[in-house]
Amino acid sequence: MDKKSFIVKEIGRLDKILAQEIIKSRNQVEQLIKEGLVTVNNKLVTKTGYKLSIGDTVEYSFKEVIPKEQVVVDFDVDIIYEDEVMMVINKPSGLVVHPAPSHKGVTLVDWLKSKGISLSTIAGEERHGIVHRIDRDTTGALVIAKTNEAHQKLSDQLRYKSMGRYYLALIDYPLKDSGTVEKPIGRNRKNRFRMDIVSDGKYAKSAFYKIAKSDTNVELVAVKLFTGRTHQIRVHLNSLGRHILGDVLYGFKSKKDTIKRVLLHAYKLYLVHPVTNQQMEFVAPIFSDMQDILYQQFNKGEIDEKINPNIINSYFDNITNRM
């Protein structure tokens, strides 16, 4: 790697001064620091807020990009909305959003690149354009950033809760009441593929609204997230003794030949356009496998009326109690 260095001329935070020096965004600089590519006075520093003094020597390098082998993308993804700076897609089940150590197959990022779509680079080479993610089996609305400026603004919206999603889930037994769950989430100590409620985990809050119960005790619920932890909805439901249909990882017991994936769908996405500042909402149509089970369990007319995207927001207006 080609290393470069400079002498600090003013007191300040490492991420701020480095961003000014190399003319990169703070997000890009944070990635450099966290990936161990920055030293101060020959000592590795991984804290973005590290305080620099006048005369310190900062050395940095950029991660070498190793070209990936050509991948074959033999699928397509529905685009809900697209303009010059962003797009919203309806992610299908089974599609991993970006490369990870546990997954070497084709990803959503590969599909985006195969389409020649210009993407932001803030999140690094393997996460081009990815502002937020959805679990592999979960379906629904996902926003993609095409420019670094749009990516930064959309990420800020996630942080400050002006962007969010309403989910629909089919669960194996009715909840006692609509309400909120506030329980910290961290990695399960016995199974690295699972998350769990742990005392030293990250704060997590979910709201659940009971939409309809079937004769077989299957319940359709709407979910609003106030935080975005890995597997958050699934973990919070598991803590209540409930499971999403098809979610065998967290304890749902079913015939695998009838329910082949987790029936959780990011149904409605709301955000502020990163350029026009217009409030926008997008609805991701429910995929046929989940919709078939919905109509088997419930009256079609009643369900269509209750999941009307124009009213789903209102379900959470008065939910304050904890479950």
> Which amino acid is it at 322?
R
CB atoms within 10 A of CB 170: 22
DSSP per-residue string spanning 215-249: TTS-EEEEEEESS--TTHHHHHHHHTT--BTT-GG
Q: How confident is the model at residue 113 (pLDDT cuts 50, 70, 90)?
A: confident
Q: Tokens at residue 11, please?
A: 């007191």
Nearest of 231, 94, 108, 88 to residue 169 by alpha carbon: 231
Q: pLDDT at residue 241 above 80? A: yes
Q: Tokens at residue 93, please?
A: 């089940």
Active-site residue, 135 included? yes
Q: What pLDDT sits at residue 99?
A: 59
Q: Phi/psi zone of residue 148: left (φ > 0), alpha (ψ -120 to 50 degrees), beta?
A: alpha
What's this model's pTM, rounded to 2 decimal places? Answer: 0.77
DSSP per-residue string spanning 271-317: EE-TTT--EEEEE-PPPHHHHHHHHHHS-HHHHHHHT-TTTGGGGGT
**Mapping DSSP to helix (H, G, I), strand (E, B) and coil, where does residue 51 land?**
strand
Q: What are 247-275's pLDDT values in tens digits? A: 999 988 866 567 889 999 999 999 999 99
| Annotated catalytic residue, options 135, 137, 172, 247 | 135
Q: How confident is the model at residue 148 (pLDDT cuts 50, 70, 90)?
A: confident
